[in-house]
Amino acid sequence: MNFIRDLELYEKSYYNMIVEIPKGTKKKFELNPETFDKVECVRKIKYRYPFYYGCFPKTLAGDNDPTDAILITNKRYKSLDIVKCYPVAVIKTVDWGFVDDKVILLDSAAKLNDRKVSKEIRKIMLFLSIYKGKDQHNTTIDPYIYGASEAKRLIEIDHKRYKEQNTIKLG
Protein backbone atom coordinates (compact mmCIF):
# COMPACT_ATOMS: atom_id res chain seq x y z
CA MET A 1 0.00 0.00 0.00
CA ASN A 2 1.27 3.46 -0.92
CA PHE A 3 0.21 5.39 2.21
CA ILE A 4 0.40 8.77 0.48
CA ARG A 5 -1.43 7.89 -2.74
CA ASP A 6 -3.87 5.16 -1.62
CA LEU A 7 -5.13 6.62 1.66
CA GLU A 8 -7.67 9.43 1.71
CA LEU A 9 -6.86 12.70 3.46
CA TYR A 10 -10.35 12.92 4.98
CA GLU A 11 -12.54 10.38 6.69
CA LYS A 12 -15.93 11.73 7.68
CA SER A 13 -15.17 14.88 9.69
CA TYR A 14 -11.57 13.89 10.52
CA TYR A 15 -8.21 13.97 8.81
CA ASN A 16 -6.11 10.83 8.47
CA MET A 17 -2.58 10.98 9.85
CA ILE A 18 0.07 8.36 9.11
CA VAL A 19 2.31 7.71 12.12
CA GLU A 20 5.96 7.52 11.09
CA ILE A 21 7.71 8.08 14.42
CA PRO A 22 6.24 6.61 17.60
CA LYS A 23 6.35 8.65 20.78
CA GLY A 24 9.36 7.82 22.96
CA THR A 25 11.75 6.69 20.23
CA LYS A 26 15.22 8.13 19.60
CA LYS A 27 15.15 7.28 15.90
CA LYS A 28 13.83 9.43 13.08
CA PHE A 29 11.72 7.30 10.76
CA GLU A 30 10.34 8.45 7.42
CA LEU A 31 8.16 6.84 4.81
CA ASN A 32 10.24 5.42 1.97
CA PRO A 33 10.20 8.35 -0.52
CA GLU A 34 10.04 6.08 -3.58
CA THR A 35 7.17 3.77 -2.61
CA PHE A 36 5.62 5.30 0.55
CA ASP A 37 4.83 1.75 1.69
CA LYS A 38 7.11 1.37 4.73
CA VAL A 39 9.10 3.47 7.18
CA GLU A 40 12.87 3.56 7.30
CA CYS A 41 15.20 4.84 9.99
CA VAL A 42 17.01 7.84 8.54
CA ARG A 43 19.03 8.76 11.64
CA LYS A 44 19.29 8.45 15.38
CA ILE A 45 18.79 11.50 17.53
CA LYS A 46 19.89 12.45 21.03
CA TYR A 47 16.41 13.01 22.50
CA ARG A 48 13.27 10.89 22.64
CA TYR A 49 10.32 12.15 20.61
CA PRO A 50 7.76 13.43 23.17
CA PHE A 51 4.93 13.04 20.65
CA TYR A 52 3.87 11.02 17.60
CA TYR A 53 5.23 12.40 14.35
CA GLY A 54 3.97 11.66 10.89
CA CYS A 55 2.28 13.12 7.86
CA PHE A 56 -0.95 13.47 5.94
CA PRO A 57 -1.78 11.46 2.81
CA LYS A 58 -2.33 13.29 -0.46
CA THR A 59 -0.48 16.43 0.63
CA LEU A 60 2.67 18.12 -0.62
CA ALA A 61 4.29 20.76 1.58
CA GLY A 62 6.75 23.51 0.67
CA ASP A 63 9.68 21.14 1.16
CA ASN A 64 8.17 18.69 -1.41
CA ASP A 65 7.38 16.13 1.28
CA PRO A 66 3.95 15.20 2.64
CA THR A 67 2.72 17.74 5.20
CA ASP A 68 4.19 17.12 8.66
CA ALA A 69 1.85 16.19 11.49
CA ILE A 70 2.42 16.01 15.24
CA LEU A 71 -0.10 14.11 17.32
CA ILE A 72 -0.89 14.87 20.96
CA THR A 73 -2.65 11.91 22.54
CA ASN A 74 -2.77 9.59 25.54
CA LYS A 75 -3.26 6.58 23.27
CA ARG A 76 -0.48 4.31 22.02
CA TYR A 77 0.33 4.00 18.33
CA LYS A 78 3.06 2.40 16.25
CA SER A 79 4.63 3.25 12.90
CA LEU A 80 2.20 3.09 9.97
CA ASP A 81 -0.89 3.33 12.17
CA ILE A 82 -3.56 5.54 10.62
CA VAL A 83 -5.09 7.95 13.14
CA LYS A 84 -8.32 9.87 12.72
CA CYS A 85 -7.62 13.32 14.10
CA TYR A 86 -8.36 17.01 13.96
CA PRO A 87 -6.00 20.00 13.82
CA VAL A 88 -5.68 22.37 16.76
CA ALA A 89 -2.62 24.43 15.80
CA VAL A 90 0.32 24.84 13.46
CA ILE A 91 3.95 25.66 14.15
CA LYS A 92 5.57 27.39 11.21
CA THR A 93 9.17 26.48 10.50
CA VAL A 94 11.74 26.89 7.76
CA ASP A 95 14.27 24.06 7.43
CA TRP A 96 17.31 24.43 5.15
CA GLY A 97 15.47 27.25 3.34
CA PHE A 98 12.23 25.33 2.73
CA VAL A 99 8.85 25.82 4.41
CA ASP A 100 8.41 22.87 6.78
CA ASP A 101 5.35 23.62 8.91
CA LYS A 102 4.10 21.21 11.58
CA VAL A 103 0.36 20.70 12.05
CA ILE A 104 -0.54 19.87 15.66
CA LEU A 105 -3.36 17.34 16.04
CA LEU A 106 -5.53 15.62 18.60
CA ASP A 107 -6.88 12.17 17.85
CA SER A 108 -10.62 11.80 17.41
CA ALA A 109 -11.04 10.31 20.90
CA ALA A 110 -8.82 12.84 22.69
CA LYS A 111 -9.99 13.91 26.13
CA LEU A 112 -7.50 16.72 26.70
CA ASN A 113 -8.37 20.16 28.02
CA ASP A 114 -6.93 23.40 26.60
CA ARG A 115 -4.41 23.72 29.44
CA LYS A 116 -3.00 20.23 28.75
CA VAL A 117 -2.85 20.94 25.02
CA SER A 118 -0.99 24.24 25.63
CA LYS A 119 1.49 22.44 27.87
CA GLU A 120 2.10 19.79 25.19
CA ILE A 121 2.59 22.45 22.51
CA ARG A 122 5.26 24.11 24.67
CA LYS A 123 7.03 20.71 24.90
CA ILE A 124 6.82 20.37 21.12
CA MET A 125 8.33 23.84 20.60
CA LEU A 126 11.18 23.01 22.95
CA PHE A 127 11.87 19.69 21.25
CA LEU A 128 11.82 21.25 17.78
CA SER A 129 14.30 23.88 18.94
CA ILE A 130 16.92 21.34 20.15
CA TYR A 131 16.55 17.90 18.58
CA LYS A 132 18.73 18.50 15.50
CA GLY A 133 21.80 19.29 17.58
CA LYS A 134 24.55 20.88 15.48
CA ASP A 135 22.23 21.18 12.44
CA GLN A 136 19.70 23.19 14.46
CA HIS A 137 21.06 26.48 13.10
CA ASN A 138 19.52 25.55 9.70
CA THR A 139 15.99 25.66 11.17
CA THR A 140 13.95 28.76 11.95
CA ILE A 141 10.89 28.38 14.19
CA ASP A 142 8.21 31.06 14.33
CA PRO A 143 7.53 31.61 18.06
CA TYR A 144 3.84 32.32 17.38
CA ILE A 145 1.43 29.35 17.58
CA TYR A 146 -1.20 29.55 14.85
CA GLY A 147 -4.70 28.18 15.51
CA ALA A 148 -6.87 25.44 14.04
CA SER A 149 -8.21 27.55 11.16
CA GLU A 150 -4.66 28.26 9.93
CA ALA A 151 -3.80 24.57 10.29
CA LYS A 152 -6.80 23.58 8.17
CA ARG A 153 -5.95 26.25 5.59
CA LEU A 154 -2.38 24.94 5.36
CA ILE A 155 -3.56 21.33 4.92
CA GLU A 156 -5.93 22.42 2.12
CA ILE A 157 -3.18 24.34 0.31
CA ASP A 158 -0.86 21.32 0.53
CA HIS A 159 -3.67 18.98 -0.59
CA LYS A 160 -4.31 21.20 -3.62
CA ARG A 161 -0.57 21.23 -4.42
CA TYR A 162 -0.51 17.42 -4.23
CA LYS A 163 -3.48 17.12 -6.61
CA GLU A 164 -1.91 19.59 -9.07
CA GLN A 165 1.44 17.77 -9.04
CA ASN A 166 -0.20 14.40 -9.58
CA THR A 167 -2.31 15.77 -12.43
CA ILE A 168 0.89 17.00 -14.09
CA LYS A 169 2.60 13.60 -13.62
CA LEU A 170 -0.43 11.67 -14.92
CA GLY A 171 -1.29 14.07 -17.75
How many Cα atoms are found within 13 Å in the side-chain-facing hemisphere of 10?
Answer: 6
How many degrees, rounded to 5, is the angle at CA 86 between CA 107 and CA 164? 125
Q: How far apart are CA 121 and CA 61, in angstroms?
A: 21
Q: C-alpha dihedral over 81, 79, 25, 114, to 10 degrees? A: -20
- Of 90, 88, 98, 87, nearest to 140 (Cα)? 98
Out of 14, 47, 49, 52, the active site residue is: 49
Active-site residue flag, 131:
no
| Residues carrying an active site annotation | 49
